[in-house]
Structure 1
Amino acid sequence: MRVVSLVPSLTEAVAATLPGLLVGATDWCTHPAGLDVARVGGSKYPDLDRVLALRPDVVLLNVEENRRADADALTAAGVPVRITYPRTVDAALAELAELLAELGASTEPDWLLAARRAWAELPALPARRAVVPVWRKPWVVLGAGTFAGDVLRRLGVHNVYAGHAERYPRPALDELRAHPLDLVVLPDEPYRFTERDGPEAFPGVPCALLSGRHLTWYGPSLAEAPAVLAGQLARPVTCPPG
């Protein structure tokens, strides 16, 4: 079987479990390190001619990561696509097990078993009200029904926009600041928030800088995500009030 992955987390999952299957991946597929496969451009705008030239038996896609137009074009060209869309940790674990079995794995890999244990044995963590920006200019935050939102919920972070009608609301900064918050969560993906770019917008409020890979990827990183994210949530930075 020849597999092309247009989803970085699935690239990591397949390479770690069935490395001989991958023949192509996006330029953003950075894990595992040293992955030696053909590159086919970005996840949003892949070079479909390159994908087709690799003669894949299946192309791996994700509803949020990739465009419907590319999925339709691949299907029209006669290439089977496998589309994932996990919105909870449990759904991600189940989808990964199903996908890997479909690709030929006879048993669940050790990293997936470790991920199941890690998420089943979470320590008690303090409850904190938070907003979770994922972009700025304009500000975009996590809303309802997101995988990252479920990850944070399990770690004691109550997203004040979790009940919003939209999955990715675009509130004004003044609205974000008006909420009574214990924490602002700033991941480094898709927007790269840093100590110098993000916390200054929320003076006086603790800001936790999180690994976007551990917050949003579903694959081998799920096994270490609880420990990594809990440690980062416990070390927020605070800009003094202006």
Structure 2
Amino acid sequence: MRVVSLVPSLTEAVAVSAPGALVGATDWCSHPADLDVTRVGGTKNPKIDRILALAPDLVIANEEENRGPDLAALRAAGIQVLVTEVREVPGAFRELARVLDACGVTAHPRWLDEAERTWSALPAPERRTTAVVPIWRRPWMVLGRETFAGDVLARLGVDHRYAAHEDRYPRIPLDDLRAAAPDIVVLPDEPYRFTADDGPEAFAGLPCALVSGRHLTWYGPSLAEAPRVLSEALRAAHR
């Protein structure tokens, strides 16, 4: 198999589960750290000619991360494209199994079994908290309805304020985010890189949790440790 991945989390999943299969990945595919494949541009602007030059048997994409016209162009060139759709944790496991099967992996890798056990054994939260979860600023955008990250947080006892919004990633003015009066503001380091000096100052008086975007939004090997890593960051914000 010759596989090109246009999804960072799936790049990591394929790289560790089907060594040698991956021949191309996006500029944003940062894991594994020693990944040595041809880079084919960004998730939103892949270099179609560079992908075609790799002669892949399969291109892996995601309905949210990648643009329809790019995928259509690949299909028109005769390339098989597998598109994932993930909006909740169980769906992530189903899609991961589908991707790995398409890449020729004949048995569940150990990390996937471990991740499934971790999430299925997750205890019920002792208490529930409310949150707003910005993913961008200038303009401010937050998690809305039916997002994978929102489901991850909900399973950890965190209900975000815009889960019922008509948009998946609505633009909300900062004053409205403050007025929502959440128990906590969750600030991931991707897609916008919120840091201690860039983000919390906008929510003075509210606890802010700086969390790993890889553990909040990626579905791959990071799922096995995501509950622990995210829970620790959320608890730290309340200290």
TM bin, normalised by shorter chain, reads over 0.9
What is the match of residue 199 of structure 1? 200
Deviation at 1:179, TM superposition (A): 1.3
Instruction: Write out the 4+ residue segments of structure 1 that deviate beyond 2 Å after TM superposition.
Output: 123-126
2:23 aligned with 1:23, yes or no? yes
What is the match of residue 177 of structure 1? 178
Structure 2: distance between partners of 1:42 and 1:160: 31
What is the match of residue 152 of structure 2? 151
Structure 1: distance between partners of 2:49 and 2:238: 46
Long gaps (5+) in structure 2: none
Deviation at 1:43, TM superposition (A): 1.1
Give 2:186's aligned amino acid.
V
Give 2:10's aligned amino acid.
L
Deviation at 1:28, TM superposition (A): 1.1
Structure 2: distance between partners of 1:161 and 1:235: 23
Deviation at 1:237, TM superposition (A): 7.1
Structure 1: distance between partners of 2:117 and 2:232: 18
Structure 2: distance between partners of 1:166 and 1:147: 14
2:224 aligned with 1:223, yes or no? yes
3-state SS of paired residue (2:195): coil
Long gaps (5+) in structure 1: none
Deviation at 1:161, TM superposition (A): 0.3
What is the match of residue 129 of structure 1? 130
Structure 1: distance between partners of 2:200 and 2:102: 44
Give 2:144's aligned amino acid.
G
What is the match of residue 37 of structure 2? 37
> Contact (CA 8 Å) 1:129, 1:182: kept in 2 or not?
yes
What is the match of residue 186 of structure 1? 187
Give 1:147's aligned amino acid.
F
3-state SS of paired residue (2:236): coil
Where does 1:1-242 land on structure 2 (aligned, <5 Å)?
1-125=1-125, 126-236=127-237
Identity of aligned residues (%): 63
Structure 2: distance between partners of 1:4 and 1:102: 12
Structure 1: distance between partners of 2:168 and 2:146: 6
Give a deviation string over 1:131-171, Cα, whole Å, max 9, x none.
Answer: 10000010000000000000000010011100111111111
Structure 2: distance between partners of 1:176 and 1:116: 34
3-state SS of paired residue (1:129): strand
